[in-house]
Amino acid sequence: MRFGLCALGLVYVAMGFVSARVAWLGAREKEQGVGGALRLLLDRGHGSWLLFAVAAGLAGLAVAYALDAFRGKRGAIARIGFFVDALGYGVLSWTAVALLLHLKAQRPSSSLPREGTTWLLSESWGPAVLEIAGVIVALGGLRELWMGVTGRLTRRPDGAPKKVARVLMAVARFGLAARGLVLCAIGYYIIRAAEESNASRVHTMGGTLRSFSGAPYGALVLGVLACGLSAYGIYIIALGIAKRQV
């Protein structure tokens, strides 16, 4: 669990770094979001080993949450949440493996969500399910935004000296608020896709970050969100060191 959380945190730190370069240095990254973060890690020294470690950590995290989902020690809602988390971390791990094995060129990172959305919209019940999913994502974003603004975190990286803990708390709040805003935007796009029956409305995290760059003061907004995502990554790494489950 510790290793997996540290791997997840590293992905968010890299994601924020890539988006910050785009916002403030005018870098022309082909891909932001998870794909850009993993590409950045791969391009570092010993990048293949680093990306392999990240993929292994995320896979371990997926297995841990899957076990929590099927053990039955928690309520049904909590177990469903664990199962969704397990799927998400599994997809992240596979994305890293695909990039490591040079499979990315065959399938853009944004194709899988849109293919899934297209299939859902082709079913009579699909738009309703998609809209519910969008509402859930948006509510999750509002929850994280609320925790960031109020400082009422459900998980705290305990064990650090007081001054360090105070700094970590500020970093955690900033990171949660930024990620909450991004999740709210992702949920909004999912709802729009359901209402308009248009799969192209669905945005990955990278696509959502690009959409912020097109808003008024877009470079500033994207830069702040980028720093926030890196801060969230630092928070997750701190939780991993403290062995706290997210």
Cβ pair 213, 219 in contact under 8 A: yes
What is the predicted pLDDT for the residue at 185? 93
CA distances from 116 to 103, 198, 207, 236, 246 (A): 19, 12, 16, 29, 27
What is the predicted pLDDT for the residue at 240? 86
Show Cβ contacts of residue 194 under 8 Å, excluding neighbours closer than 6 positions: 121, 127, 128, 130, 131, 134
Mean pLDDT of 109-137: 80
Q: Tell which residue, 151, 180, 183, has the closest CA to residue 168.
A: 151
Q: Tell which residue, 38, 16, 60, has the closest CA to residue 109.
A: 38
Cβ pair 224, 157 in contact under 8 A: no
Cβ pair 236, 179 in contact under 8 A: no
What is the predicted pLDDT for the residue at 110? 52
Q: What is the pLDDT of residues 161-198, one digit of tens each?
A: 778 888 999 999 999 999 999 999 999 999 999 998 88
- Residue scoring higher pLDDT (144 or 202): 144
Per the structure, the count of domains in the chain is: 1
Q: What percent of the chain has pLDDT over 90?
A: 31
Task: Give the separation between CA 57 and CA 2, rounded to whole angstroms.
Answer: 9
Per the structure, the complete domain to which residue 144 belongs is given by 2-242
Give the position of tokens 């890539």: 18
Task: Give the separation between CA 31 and CA 27, rounded to whole angstroms.
Answer: 11
The confidence band for 205, taking pLDDT boundaries of 50, 70 and 90, is: confident
Between 28-32, 89-93, 195-199, 237-241, the lowest mean confidence (pLDDT) is in 28-32
Q: What is the pLDDT of residues 39-96, one digit of tens each?
A: 888 888 788 899 999 999 999 999 988 888 887 677 777 777 788 888 888 888 888 8
What is the predicted pLDDT for the residue at 175? 95
Cβ pair 179, 232 in contact under 8 A: yes
What is the predicted pLDDT for the residue at 106? 46
Q: What is the pTM (predicted TM-score) of this model?
A: 0.84
- Residue scoring higher pLDDT (171 or 243): 171
